[in-house]
Structures are given as C-alpha cells and as structure tokens.
Amino acid sequence: MFSEKNAFQESFKKRLEQSYSISFNDSTRAQQFVTLSQMVREHISKEWIETNERYRQGKKQTYYLSIEFLLGRLLGQNLINLGLYETLETWLRDIGIPLEELENVEPDAGLGNGGLGRLAACFLDSLASLGLPGHGFGIRYKHGLFEQKMVDGFQMELPENWLRYGYVWEVRKSDLAVEVPFWGSVDVVERKEGIKFRHVDAEYVKAVPYDIPVIGYGGETVNTLRLWTAETSSFTLNQDVLKYKKETEAISEFLYPDDSNDDGKILRLKQQYFLVSASIRSILRQHLNNGGKLQNLHERVAIHINDTHPVLAIPELMRVLLDDYQMSWEDAWHVTENTFAYTNHTTLSEALERWPIRIFRPLLPRIFMIVEEINERFCKSLWEQYPGEWERIEKMAIVAKDEVRMAHLAIAGSHSVNGVAWLHTEILKNREMNDFYQFSPQKFNNKTNGITHRRWLLKANPELTALLTDTIGDGFKKDASELSKLAPFAEDSAFLEKLWNVKLKRKEILAKRIFEQNGIKVDPTSIFDVQVKRLHAYKRQLLNVLHILSLYNKLKKEPSFHMPPRTFIFGAKASPGYFYAKRIIKLIHSVADLVNNDPDTKGIITVVFMENYRVSLAEDIIPAADISEQISTASKEASGTGNMKFMMNGAVTMGTLDGANVEILEQTGPDDIFIFGLKAEEVMAYERDGGYRSMDYYHHDSLIRRTLDQLVNGKLDDEGLFDVIYDSLLAENDQYFVLKDFEAYRIAQEEAGRIYEQDPERWRKMMVKNISGSGIFSSDRTIKEYANEIWNI
C-alpha cells in the first residue's frame, strides 16, 4: 500500500471516493484525513495481530492502569514511527494535499489533563518502541476534561467534543464487554467447601472496550491501549430507565467530575471501580486464554497503578480470585501483592485520595468487605512490628477515621512503590511515607520520569531534528542517549549559528500562531519566556505574573531602566472548581491588558495567554521557548516532564531545586541553568517549625509592596477580583513562599536577560549543553528501568 507512489495515490483517491461518494477534487481535508488514517491503521493491522500472537507464547506482560492517557494527535506520530512521514508528505503534496493540514484536522484525544496523562502516553510509546509487551487500560471519556475558552480574561469551560466525528484509530470490541456491579448487597452462602459471597440486587453497567494501536518506532511492535466506555446493561421492570441511562453514561462522560459534593464523589468512585473491574477481568481472561494459571498470575502478568486512581484494582483482583475462583485468602494475597506495583505522583497530602466510608460501603459493598479484611491483616502485622504503638498504627491504617485511604491500600497491596524523581522519592521515604518506608523499605525505589523524544523532538521540532541528524547522525532517533554526541559542538561557531537559526524559525512559527489566535504581534527576536502547565498554586504562575508586573512598574518609574524585550507566554487550565487558580488566570490577563497596551512598555514586555493548552499546542510552544519556567515551590513538584521537553528543545531552565530540576542540574552543570530560591529542606523546615512571615517582605521591600498593592488598589481591577490573591499572600502567610523567593527569582531573571542580550554565544552554548544532556530523560530509559527492576519483562 505504501511501497510505490502511483499505487498509493490511486488507492488513496479510490478509497476516498468510495467512502464518501464524492470526487477526489471535491473532497475536504477532513475526508482526506480519515481516509489516510484508515489506510495507516489497516497497514499496521498485520503487525498488530502478530504482536498479540507473539505475546501468547508465554511472555510476561505489563498492563498500565491510568485514569489519564494524554495521547495528542496520532497521525503524524504514527507515520514517523513507521518511517513513512517524509515519503507520504511528498506523495500527498504531489496531488495537492499538505500533510500538515491533514494532521491539524485530527482532534487531540480528550483522555487526560496534564503530566500524569502525558507520562502514561510516553510510556506506551516507549514500551512499543523497545519491543516490550506492555499495554494500557483507561476510560474512553466522551468529553474529556473541558475545552477552555477565555471570556474577558475569565476561564469558561465548554464540553470537549473530541469524539464528535468518531475516532479513526479505535476499534470497538463489543464481544469483549463485561458487566460491572454497583450498589446492592452481599449474601453469605454456607456451602460444604466453605463460605461463599454473592453480590445481589446490584445495578450493572456494561463496560465496552475500544482498542487503539500503539505503534512502536520502526513499526515492528504494535501494542494496545484499551479504553472502556460505559453503556446500559439490561433493565429491570421497576427501574427508572432514563435515570439509569443518564447515571450510567456519566461514568465515561467527563474526566475528573467535580467532587465537591457527594454526587460528584460517587461518580468519581464509580469511574475508578469501573476502570479496574473491567480491566482486571480482561487481563485475567487473556492470561487464562494464553494457558496461564491463577496461581502463577504474578509470574506472567505485571499490573502497574499510575497514581491512586486505579488502586481499587487490588481489592478487585482479590475479589475475583476469592469469589469467582475460590482461592484461599493467603494464596490470593500472595498473587495480588506480587502482581501489583504503584507509582506515587505527589507530595501533596490533599492529592492522596481518601474516600468516606459512608459513600464507599454502599456503592461497593463486597469491595469494602475485602478492603476491611486487608486492613485488619495489615494492622495485625503492624501490631506485631510495633506492639502498643496505637497512634502509629492508626496513622498507617488503610481504613480509619471513617475513610478509606487509597495510597495506604496501594502501598500495602503492591510489591513496589516508586517516586518519579530522586528528590521526590527521598521526600516520600523520609517524610510523606516515612512510616511505610520504615516498615517495608524493600518496596521503595525511584524511577525518574521521562518523555518520548520521538514526539517531543522528532515530531514537534523537525527543524532541530534535521540539524541534529546532519551533525551527529540519526542514531539519537532510536537511542536518545546519543544526543550526548552534540556536546563538542558547543565550541563550533558555525553549528551555533545554525542552531540559533533553527530556534528563530520555531519562534517565528509560534509568533504566527499567536497572532492568528490572540491577535497579538510578538517579536521573534525577543526572549520567549514560557510557563505552560496545569494551573496550581504550588506551580507558582503567580510568582511569574507578579514579577512581570514588577518589571512594568520599574519601566514606568525608572526611565533609565533597561531590559531586553521579552515575551511572556502562558498556557494552563485550572480545574473548574479551583476558584483561586481561576483568579490567577484572570490576573495574568489583566496584567497582559495593562502592559500590552501601554505605549511606554509596548514592545519591551508582551504577555500572551494561549487558551485551551493541550498536546498539539505544546508541540508549537515548546520548540520556540528560550526560557523554561519550572518555578514550583521546592518539595511540591514530584518530577515534571515539561522541564525535560523544553530542555531537549534547547530552552534553558529557570527553576527551583524541585522535582526533576535537580537531575537536570546534574546534566547541565550550574552554569547552564538558572537555579534560585528555597531548597526543599528549607521549605519543609519552615512548614515544620514556622519562622516565615510574609508580611515582613511586604513591609521591607518597596518593589513587592507596590506590586501587591496593585492587586487591590484599582490599578488592575476595581471590583475586588484579586483580593483573594492578596489575602493568600499576606493574611494567610503565603503558603507557597512566593514572596520569600521573589527577590531570588528577580535576580535570576535579570541574569538570564543579561546573558541572552550581552553574551549570545554563551546562550547558544547553554542551548547545546541542555540538548546534549537531555537524552537521559527519554522515557525509553525510564521504561527500561521499570521493565528490569519492577516488572521483570
């Protein structure tokens, strides 16, 4: 199909005309996109089947359970992995079709929100590219999170209709649907062989799988991402059919429904059990069909829990082994504990899920019984280790204080618990999960996150990819560690000039998109200072925008003050119920209105907020960045992966010693990164012992005082919109140390501007150092570590 130009072009035209009953000359880009994508999917069907057949031969397989998979667009990535991109780009251009326009037709799959989901997508790519047997399980959200629209600077949330016209990459597998029970009660049946449990009067939801091929680089391995959608099962005579249909379909309608009330909590818990119940039975069915035995499940299957959302997989596997296959508790627990591994993604206690028993028990009656039994046995083992230490045992218990603690269940039921950056893992071991670490130190390990360079370099930055290929060969495409070969070229002035021209080209591409989307003209020769990520207080977009406001004030007050022109670019979604974060988005827009429209600062400072941040937008923003803002409060960011993407594309990190920034510093050295602010141990000491008074910084620093006063004096708003931000920094003592780090941040930013403007050769050498040191952050490296040290695949 793709081996000869004329044959491909004729096949493409014929297929399009037959599919749509329209002449090729009248066809739309959308019709052309679907036709090409269908041809690609059919092209890999043989490898997809052969991959699955290969795994039937007894190979141990990994199943990655995640509430999010942020895939991005797949057409271009699939063609790159198949080695067909440049060929088809030429062949399609010959018949008047720009491949880039077909790529832009494809919607971003609405299956995730931020780093958690993007990491899961990168991991699937690396598993397939390394030829490893690893598959994903998630939920096929009809609307995803939300589509962000900005109205007068306020975030508005609209349904994300990414499935409006179907999804060309998926294959519905109705024959593999399973029934998932909720509510009801549990009958205890006495039988000769022992007590049996039976779920009665349950309300069943049908989980229907849709399979998406995950094409590895080189096209030899095609793994599977299986997504479940919720559909109605059979009705009972007394059932309110419309209510049942609405509640059922809601399970797979939105990612992260608002859980500020009980209905939202119930829906979230339903989603989580729906995902794991369907996935566990799918995994067991495949294991048994491949000749496996239940007793050796852990020898042939590894199940990975990505954060706490899929933790109910642990009691669900116990339920199936106990109730459906009559395995003893001891045998079932041995299999379960050795099958599961858990990744923690946060040091924030509020992100470690806890479910009220009053909601958990009635919704999942049998699962709650099993969780209670797991808790009883776990607490007994704690008692044997720590006799008399009731306070410690209650603190570590899975069920306590009228709630179920999901992270505790994950640790107790897994053989491996890992953090996602060296610092994060050390904080887990020594602070957040220290009791568990002391009890089971052998479970804890670190696996620093990674990114798939095939998307974030090869696909997102073809200009840089071409330059690297010409300079060091193409070995880095398969093995990112070969990027280290670039290091000597930091002394090659001709290469540095080419690298700078590539960056300028990418900045021009982004500038064009900014003008088209925002109507703002930006100077591609200005510093592109970028912070794009989920909007959360600990990520400190607030520190960034307050610094911008302070620069504006300085320019207005001091005519002699000079700074190189700088374009500040933001992209972020705030959770719909996160009022404070949404106020920060409004503040960014208010500051943008102020500085962009002032003739005294126009052209010196430009502020841009790009709405609806997503993978395809990131692919334009990240290659264009000069400065990568990674300024979270030290100790709060588990890892970050945006920092790695920027680094790989030649941006220089402006960051705290938090998350993977610590390891980025190890690769670049202190001269090729801008590190500022409190260290993790200093933040934790302040949190533990006190001693920080944000009001002192307000009173003793005139720059801070003037900047904060503008939040409430009518300069930016006369309706009190930003009172909540002002109060959080002063009346509530600045939980995330924005004011404490402000001066250090200002100095680091000043130094970055000085080098960029006055020593361009040094800046270009910094770019080389970052690119050449980024190979270690390939998700291929991360997955090899998981495969060898946790999954044994």
User: Cα 152 to chain center, whole Å?
Assistant: 28
User: Cα 782 to chain center, whole Å?
Assistant: 15
Question: Is 533 among the catalytic positions?
Answer: yes
**How many alpha carbons fall within 13 Å on the CB side of residue 669?**
10
DSSP assignment of 724-765: HHHHHHTTT--TT-HHHHHHHHHHHHHHHHHHHHH-HHHHHH
- Given a contact cutoff of 8 angstroms between Cβ atoms, the answer to whether 267 and 27 are in contact is no
Question: Is 343 among the catalytic positions?
Answer: no
Question: Is 641 among the catalytic positions?
Answer: yes
Catalytic residue chosen out of the listed positions 533, 540, 547, 614: 533
Catalytic residue chosen out of the listed positions 41, 135, 454, 645: 645
Rounded CA separation 658/46 (Å): 45
- What is the identity of the amino acid at 278? A
Q: Where are the beta strands (DSSP E) in 133-193?
A: 134-139, 147-151, 154-158, 171-172, 178-182, 185-191
Rounded CA separation 557/551 (Å): 10
> Which residue, among 572, 574, 701, 712, has the nearest Cα to 642 in the 3D structure?
572
**Helix H or strand E segment including 580:** helix 579-596
Between CA 529 and CA 647, with CA 448 as vertex, the angle to 5 degrees is 25
* DSSP-derived secondary structure letter, 24: G
Between CA 47 and CA 54, with CA 48 as vertex, the angle to 5 degrees is 80
3-state secondary structure of 135: strand
- Given a contact cutoff of 8 angstroms between Cβ atoms, the answer to whether 226 and 111 are in contact is no
- Paired with 302 in beta bridges are 62
Catalytic residue chosen out of the listed positions 199, 319, 539, 583: 539
Question: Is 380 among the catalytic positions?
Answer: no
- What is the identity of the amino acid at 436? F
Helices 29-43, 5-20: crossing angle, 10 deg rounding:
120
φ, ψ of residue 272 to 5 degrees: the values are: -65, -45
φ, ψ of residue 166 to 5 degrees: the values are: 80, 180
Question: Is 265 among the catalytic positions?
Answer: no
Rounded CA separation 753/548 (Å): 13
Tokens of 149: 């629209």
Active site residues: 345, 533-534, 539, 641, 645
